Structure 1
């Protein structure tokens, strides 16, 4: 393939004596930009992230796309597909919230803590999703299938939580990064591992920012009605 797209698919740089795909670097930069837009509650978080998903999908399938690594991470590749689908939902949901209201444009999302029932749903989905994904990824020959299964499941839950505006989605991302960094380092995906480290620090910042926003957006408690004695005093 020739032209800019062909260059993007084939170009490599040397980092500490090891070949690194330019598209892996660019895909992760798109991912970081998406997180920055998400921190600012901007709808652009979704289309920018989807562009990064498309690039990283080609990175983690070395059997179909030429990569210098010897490992296929099917969970990492599969999550890009699911990311793309969930991002369509998030893009639609945030765009709908941005429609003009009586007081002008509304914020794309109002950060809030998940309810107890929603948190229980997240925990159950994390356990079931990881348990289901693990044997599938192991059968496909994915490298590090258990870690890959959690990364796939946790990433989907974090993306869904972001679309819903749950503050906890940042914590899920931190848990994904904690597993993803050592896996990617062992597999030789150094730009992605480095970006995961950046994501971890950024997610801590994003969590604090959304937490503050959720507190400031919390409606004030209505004053209690006066008692009978106070009313007649």
Structure 2
């Protein structure tokens, strides 16, 4: 068995429960991506994609015959959309970083945080309500575990990832709402490493929200100073 085969099948026994190593590794990549997003670094996107690929196979427990044997279609499906949105965010942040480098600031963060505003919140609210209801109906038909909770985690995760790509500070708040639902769902379904990492994400997300908010205030103050400085 090669290293990839070992990673796919290897388990760790914790408190009498078999846990897949790829669930642990996938969530650690996700945590690293969250830290990279907090620091507004482009590498957060490809690192997150690696975790998404691993976790896709984890949450289809019945399909891939994992120890949990439980299919969370929302959790699995969101990994696919994570990859799609991550490519968008990767390209967007990379372009901003190149523009900053061309302007003489090679070490500038890839995005300047900003509030989503009224139009952004209208988009977030409408997609959250309509998307969750629609996905819950689909997941119920598929037999997903906890379809309503799974649907919100799916839709909320997409909104949060899109908000991160756009540089919206509110995306951190959406992640908090996702984590609040995700921890009990994953515990009830037996995905204990993911539940623990969700709780850790909660602390990182709260810190990230404060960091981005302060970065926005700093950028706004710098813009105000620039406007007051007379040009020659």
Provide the secondary structure at the position in 1 that maps to 2:111. Answer: coil
Q: Identify the residue that residue 215 of structure 1 maps to in structure 2.
A: 217
Residue 183 of structure 2 corresponds to residue 184 of structure 1: no
**RMSD (CA atoms):** 1.1
- Residue 101 of structure 1 corresponds to 102
Partner of 1:27: 26
2-side partners of 1:137 and 1:83: how far apart?
Answer: 18
TM-score, normalised relative to structure 2: 0.93
Please list every run of at least 4 consecutive aligned residues from structure 1 whose deviation after the TM superposition is greater than 4 angstroms: none
Residue 102 of structure 1: CA displacement?
2.6
Provide the C-alpha distance between the structure 1 equivalents of 2:76 and 2:103, rounded to a whole number of angstroms.
Answer: 43
Deviation by residue 1:70-110 (Cα, 9 ceiling, x = unmatched): 31000000000000000000000000111132323343100
Shift in Å at residue 195 of structure 1?
Answer: 0.3
Based on CA coordinates, which of the two structures has the bigger radius of gyration?
A: 1
For structure 1, the 5+ residue unaligned runs are 224-233
- Superposition TM-score, scaled by structure 1 size: 0.93
Unmatched tracts of structure 2, length 5 or more: none
CA distance in 1, matches of 2:45, 2:122: 26
Q: Which residue number in structure 2 is paired with residue 5 of structure 1? A: 4
**3-state DSSP class of the match of 1:14?**
strand
User: What residue is the counterpart of 1:52 in the other structure?
Assistant: 51
Q: Report the count of equivalent residues.
A: 222
Shift, 1:62, TM fit: 1.5
In structure 2, C-alpha distance between the alignment counterparts of 1:196 and 1:104, rounded to whole Å: 35
| Aligned residue in 2 for 1:142 | 144
1:42-93 alpha-carbon deviations (Å, 9 max, x no partner): 0000000000000000000112212000310000000000000000000000
Per-residue deviation, residues 15-43 of structure 1 (Å, max 9, x unmatched): 11110000000000000000011111100
